[in-house]
Amino acid sequence: MKPLKKVEIVVGAKETKQVIEILEAQNLAKYTIIKNASGRGDSWERDGFGLSDVFHNNYLLFACTEVEFESVKEPIRILLEDTGGICLVSDVMWLNH
Protein backbone atom coordinates (compact mmCIF):
# COMPACT_ATOMS: atom_id res chain seq x y z
CA MET A 1 0.00 0.00 0.00
CA LYS A 2 1.25 3.43 -0.92
CA PRO A 3 0.14 6.76 0.54
CA LEU A 4 -1.50 9.11 -1.96
CA LYS A 5 -3.68 12.19 -1.98
CA LYS A 6 -7.30 11.72 -2.95
CA VAL A 7 -8.76 14.79 -4.62
CA GLU A 8 -12.54 15.13 -4.93
CA ILE A 9 -14.02 17.89 -7.04
CA VAL A 10 -17.66 18.81 -7.56
CA VAL A 11 -18.28 21.21 -10.45
CA GLY A 12 -20.98 22.04 -12.93
CA ALA A 13 -21.39 19.48 -15.71
CA LYS A 14 -20.26 22.02 -18.31
CA GLU A 15 -17.04 22.77 -16.42
CA THR A 16 -15.77 19.21 -16.03
CA LYS A 17 -13.91 19.37 -19.31
CA GLN A 18 -11.90 22.30 -18.04
CA VAL A 19 -10.86 20.39 -14.93
CA ILE A 20 -9.70 17.49 -17.07
CA GLU A 21 -7.74 19.83 -19.29
CA ILE A 22 -5.90 21.05 -16.19
CA LEU A 23 -5.08 17.48 -15.22
CA GLU A 24 -3.99 16.54 -18.71
CA ALA A 25 -1.73 19.58 -18.92
CA GLN A 26 0.24 18.00 -16.05
CA ASN A 27 0.08 14.46 -17.44
CA LEU A 28 -2.28 13.55 -14.64
CA ALA A 29 -4.81 11.77 -16.79
CA LYS A 30 -6.07 9.17 -14.30
CA TYR A 31 -9.43 9.97 -12.83
CA THR A 32 -12.97 8.75 -12.26
CA ILE A 33 -16.09 10.77 -13.00
CA ILE A 34 -19.58 10.26 -11.66
CA LYS A 35 -22.07 12.25 -13.67
CA ASN A 36 -25.51 13.45 -12.69
CA ALA A 37 -24.70 14.74 -9.24
CA SER A 38 -26.99 17.39 -7.84
CA GLY A 39 -26.42 19.76 -4.97
CA ARG A 40 -26.40 23.15 -3.37
CA GLY A 41 -23.66 25.57 -2.53
CA ASP A 42 -23.23 29.33 -2.60
CA SER A 43 -24.71 29.76 -6.08
CA TRP A 44 -28.00 28.57 -7.54
CA GLU A 45 -29.33 25.10 -6.71
CA ARG A 46 -28.43 22.38 -9.20
CA ASP A 47 -31.38 20.06 -8.86
CA GLY A 48 -30.30 17.72 -11.62
CA PHE A 49 -33.42 18.41 -13.67
CA GLY A 50 -34.04 20.17 -16.94
CA LEU A 51 -32.57 20.03 -20.40
CA SER A 52 -29.67 22.34 -19.77
CA ASP A 53 -26.42 21.17 -18.21
CA VAL A 54 -26.26 24.19 -15.92
CA PHE A 55 -28.48 22.48 -13.35
CA HIS A 56 -26.30 19.36 -13.22
CA ASN A 57 -23.05 18.77 -11.35
CA ASN A 58 -20.35 16.18 -11.89
CA TYR A 59 -18.27 14.50 -9.22
CA LEU A 60 -14.64 13.92 -10.14
CA LEU A 61 -12.17 11.89 -8.13
CA PHE A 62 -8.48 11.29 -8.62
CA ALA A 63 -5.70 9.78 -6.58
CA CYS A 64 -2.18 11.13 -7.07
CA THR A 65 1.04 11.86 -5.22
CA GLU A 66 1.37 15.00 -3.16
CA VAL A 67 3.82 16.42 -5.71
CA GLU A 68 1.39 15.81 -8.53
CA PHE A 69 -1.40 17.48 -6.61
CA GLU A 70 0.76 20.55 -6.00
CA SER A 71 1.18 20.92 -9.77
CA VAL A 72 -2.57 21.25 -10.39
CA LYS A 73 -3.61 22.92 -7.16
CA GLU A 74 -3.33 26.52 -8.31
CA PRO A 75 -5.02 26.12 -11.73
CA ILE A 76 -7.88 24.24 -10.06
CA ARG A 77 -8.25 26.97 -7.46
CA ILE A 78 -8.39 29.64 -10.16
CA LEU A 79 -10.95 27.68 -12.15
CA LEU A 80 -13.22 27.10 -9.15
CA GLU A 81 -12.98 30.77 -8.24
CA ASP A 82 -14.67 31.41 -11.55
CA THR A 83 -17.07 28.53 -11.82
CA GLY A 84 -17.89 27.69 -8.23
CA GLY A 85 -17.80 24.16 -6.87
CA ILE A 86 -15.72 22.45 -4.24
CA CYS A 87 -12.37 20.68 -4.05
CA LEU A 88 -11.54 18.41 -1.10
CA VAL A 89 -8.20 16.71 -0.50
CA SER A 90 -7.54 13.82 1.87
CA ASP A 91 -4.99 11.13 2.67
CA VAL A 92 -5.52 7.62 1.36
CA MET A 93 -3.60 4.42 1.04
CA TRP A 94 -3.51 2.97 -2.44
CA LEU A 95 -3.65 -0.81 -2.71
CA ASN A 96 -1.08 -1.03 -5.50
CA HIS A 97 -1.43 -4.05 -7.70
Ligand X SMILES: Nc1ncnc2c1ncn2[C@@H]1O[C@H](COP(=O)(O)O)[C@@H](O)[C@H]1O
**Between 4 and 13, whose beta carbon lies closer to other proteins?**
13
Among 25, 29, 34, 86, binds ligand X (CB under 6 A): 86
Q: At what angle do helices 66-83 and 16-25 cross, to 10 degrees?
A: 150
Q: How far is the CB of 17 from ligand X (least distance, A)?
A: 16
The answer to whether the CB of 75 falls within 8 A of the CB of 81 is no
d(CA 5, CA 92): 6
- Per CB under 8 A, residues contacting its own copies are 1, 4, 6, 8, 10, 29-42, 48, 57, 59, 61, 63, 73, 76-78, 80-81, 86-95, 97
